[in-house]
Amino acid sequence: MIVLLVLFLGSISLVAALFAIHTKSLLSAVISSGVVSLVASILYIVLHAPDVAMTEAAIGSGLTTVVFLLALRKIRSARKEDHRG
Amino acid sequence: MAIGFILILIGIWGMVTQNNIIKIIIGFSIIDTGIHIVMVGTGYIKNRTAPILDSEALRQNAAALTVDPVPSALVLTAIVIGLAVTALMLTYAVRLHVKTGSLSIDNLKDQA
Amino acid sequence: MAKRVILLLLLCGLAVLFYKTLTGMGPTLTLAPMSQQMVTDAPQTLGSQNVITAIVVTMRGLDTLGEVAVLFIAAAGIGFLLRKEHEHRREMRRDGSEILKTGARLLLPLIILFGCYIFTHGHLTPGGGFQGGVVIASGILLFILSDVSRSVNHSLLSISESLSGFGYAALGIAGFFLAAGFLDNRFLPMGTFGSLFSAGAIPVIYSFIGVKVGCELTGIFTSMQEDA
């Protein structure tokens, strides 16, 4: 039963990682890397490490995605200024 | 644990073949997550529970009933440092974009 | 083209290496001796229920000191790289909707309270300084993103961050003089096992770490957030 759960979660994370690398849109790539972190935090609960699961859920799927999105916003605004000026 | 290894391989492949700087940084983050999964996986023992001793029975016989706590403590530090390094890499990418106006690495390789 | 072939060969080599490691390791049945000592030591001599907290704060306290230093250097580097060189045109940031503003204003005290709860009860439940600090920083981020007119005072952030870092080092040195070694936690009284004020100085040390991590991450966000 647990082996089935781990295999299911593992296949989701592998598909998300492959998608993050191949897609052309940067936004989808960033959000799929957030999905990989989320699946990793569920795997940590299955491996009986609750502290690591909490830290990974907060940092990996929350703050890392936010930092990527802030950087993308800066790049997009700089690009818009170039086109305007 | 095998999942962690495969994630590392996908991340390395992505990091080397991609052209866009942001994709390279995403590949780095995937490698990081894969390594952490492998490290926590080495501490797992079947049919035991988490190392938080809140009941009397657990406390008496702790060494025979809990999962290894040392890799979890090391990975806790490693996750936070991974976030700090990723944020620093992203600010480099932003400054690079402001100076040269593009995000692809091919433009930067051919400086004499 | 040659680059791709070399890359594929390298990955196949790594895959073979990983496979051999995976099949060579049998399933572990007993804890390693050092871990056995740590797990039996933590409730008796250090008085903390959460073994991982005891390891991170006391038994491997130097690692935590190094990590706090790395976070500080990274935050300083980001603040330096993103400084404003000359005045850019101030871009209009869009305000969030009314529901978002009111909801964020309602949720912020609850989130900060939850974060403080996590890092003060670090020795009793899963959690601790890092998790609590991250929760506080994400609460403040929600607050900044939802309302354009509010901004966080930079000098307040840097003062509180430096003070908590200093407090953490001072507690470590106090452990040096009053108890067995650096960052030892036996110089405050250990109360009854399992209540809030037990385990010596572990809650105090972890509170300093939590406040410091929260301030640093908030500093990173505000420097990335500034327009242009």
**HEC per residue, chain C:** CHHHHHHHHHHHHHHHHHHHHHHHCCCCCCCCHHHHHHHHHHHHHHCCCEHHHHHHHHHCHHHHHHHHHHHHHHHHHHHHHCCCCCCCCCCCCCCCCHHHHHHHHHHHHHHHHHHHHHHHCCCCCCCCHHHHHHHHHHHHHHHHHHCCCCCCCHHHHHHHHHHHHHHHHHHHHHHHHHCCCCCCCCCCCCCCCCCCCCCCCHHHHHHHHHHHHHHHHHHHHHHHHCCC
Closest chain C C-alpha to B45 CA, distance in angstroms: 6
pLDDT of residue C24: 66
Handedness of CA C156, B84, B92, A62 (dihedral sign): negative
C58 vs B87: CA distance, rounded Å = 29
Confirm if C178 and C192 have CB atoms less than 8 A apart. Answer: no
On whether any CB of chain A is under 8 Å from the CB of B21, the answer is no
- Is the pLDDT score of B87 beyond 70? yes
Interface test with A, best of B40, B65, B66 (most A CBs within 10 A): B40
Per-residue confidence at C171, pLDDT binned at 50, 70, 90?
A: confident
- Residues 6 or more apart from C27 whose CB is under 8 A from it? B45, B46
pLDDT band at C26 (very low <50, low <70, confident <90, very high): low
A interface test, pick of C88, C94, C131 with most A CB neighbours within 10 Å: C131
Q: Are B9 and B73 in contact (CB under 8 A)?
A: no
Is the model's pLDDT at C179 over the cut of 60? no
Total number of domains constituting chain B:
1
pLDDT above 90 covers a percentage of chain C that reads 0
Q: B16, C52: Cβ pair inside 8 Å?
A: no
Q: Considering CB atoms only, which of C88, C131, C141 is closest to A66?
A: C141
DSSP-derived 3-state class of residue B111: coil
Whether C132 has a pLDDT exceeding 80, the answer reads: yes
Q: Which residues pair with B104 in a beta bridge?
A: B20
Q: What is the percent of chain B where pLDDT is above 90?
A: 0
What percent of chain C has a predicted confidence (pLDDT) above 70?
62
Q: For the residues B2-10, what does the mean pLDDT come to?
A: 62
The CATH number of residue B7's host domain is 1.10.287.3510
Is there a contact between C21 and C174 (Cβ–Cβ < 8 Å)? no
Lowest mean pLDDT among C24-28, C86-90, C154-158: C86-90
Which one of B70, B80, B91 has the shortest CB-CB distance to C35?
Answer: B70
Q: Is C226 on the interface with B (CB under 8 A)?
A: no
Q: Which of A30-44, A71-85, B12-26 ranks highest by mean pLDDT?
A: A30-44
How far is Cα C144 from Cα C110, in angstroms, rounded to an integer?
A: 16
Q: Which two tokens stand for residue C206?
A: 């972890």
Computed over every residue of chain C, the mean pLDDT equals 71
Under a CB-based contact definition with an 8 Å cutoff, are residues C116 and C132 in contact?
yes
Contact of B50 with chain A, judged by CB distance below 8 Å, is answered with yes
pLDDT at B85 over 80: yes
Q: Which whole number is the average pLDDT over C116-143?
A: 79
Sign of the Cα torsion C6, B37, A58, C63 reads negative
Most confident of the ranges B4-8, B53-57, C150-154, C161-165: C161-165
Mean pLDDT, rounded, for A8-26: 79
- What does the alpha-carbon distance between residue B43 and residue C143 come to, in Å, rounded to a whole number? 39
Q: Is pLDDT at C152 greater than 80 in this prediction?
A: no
What is the DSSP-derived secondary structure letter of residue B66? B
Identify the band that residue C73 occupies on the pLDDT scale cut at 50, 70 and 90.
confident
Structure confidence at residue C228 (pLDDT) = 38
Selecting from B68, B73, B80 the residue whose C-beta is nearest the C-beta of C31 gives: B68
Q: In terms of Cα–Cα distance, which of C19, C66, C126 is closest to B5?
A: C19
Mean confidence (pLDDT) of chain B: 72
| Mean pLDDT for the stretch of residues C114-119 | 81
Contact C224 A59 (CB under 8 A): no
Identify whether the C-beta of residue C84 lies closer than 8 Å to the C-beta of residue C228.
yes
pLDDT for residue C217: 77
> Which residues, 6 or more positions from C124, have their beta carbon under 8 angstroms from its beta carbon?
B54, C49, C50, C194, C196
Would you call C126 an interface residue with chain B, using a CB distance cutoff of 8 Å? yes
To the nearest whole number, what is the mean pLDDT of chain A? 80
Task: Give residues 87 to 106 of C whose Cβ lies within 8 Å of B.
Answer: none
C198: pLDDT strictly greater than 80: no
B75–A contact, CB cutoff 8 A? yes
Q: Which pLDDT score, from 0 to 100, does residue C52 have?
A: 77
CA separation for the pair C40, B65 (Å, rounded): 11
Q: Which residues on C lie below 8 Å from A55 (Cβ)?
A: 130-131, 134
Nearest Cα residue to B86 out of B33, B37, B26: B26
Q: Which residue has the higher pLDDT, A37 or B20?
A: A37
pLDDT recorded at residue C145: 75
A 10 A CB-CB count for B17 gives 14
pLDDT in the model for residue B13: 62
Average confidence (pLDDT) over A22-30? 82
The closest CB to that of C127, out of A54, A63, A77, belongs to A54
Radius of gyration in angstroms for the set of CA atoms belonging to chain C, rounded to a whole number: 23
A-C contacts at Cβ under 8 angstroms: 43
ipTM: 0.82
Window from C107-111, C135-139, C178-182 with minimum mean pLDDT: C178-182
Least confident interval from B63-72, C8-17, C190-199: C190-199
Q: Which class for B82: exposed (0-12), middle (13-18), buried (19 or more C-beta within 10 A)?
A: buried
The sign of the CA dihedral A44, A49, A50, A52 is negative
- The closest CB to that of A59, out of B11, B67, B83, belongs to B83
pLDDT reported for residue B53: 62
How far apart are the C-alpha atoms of B30 and B15, rounded to whole Å?
A: 10
**Least confident interval from A39-43, C103-107, C118-122:** C118-122
Range name among A69-73, B97-101, C29-33, C105-109 with the lowest pLDDT average: C29-33
Q: What is the pLDDT of residue C188?
A: 52
- Alpha carbons within 13 angstroms on the beta-carbon side of residue B82 total 27
Question: Predicted confidence band at C206 (pLDDT cuts at 50, 70, 90)?
Answer: confident
For chain A, how big is the Rg over CA atoms in Å? 16
Question: Among A45-49, A77-81, B49-53, which range has the highest average pLDDT?
Answer: A45-49
Could you tell me the residue range of the domain that residue B48 belongs to?
Answer: 2-109
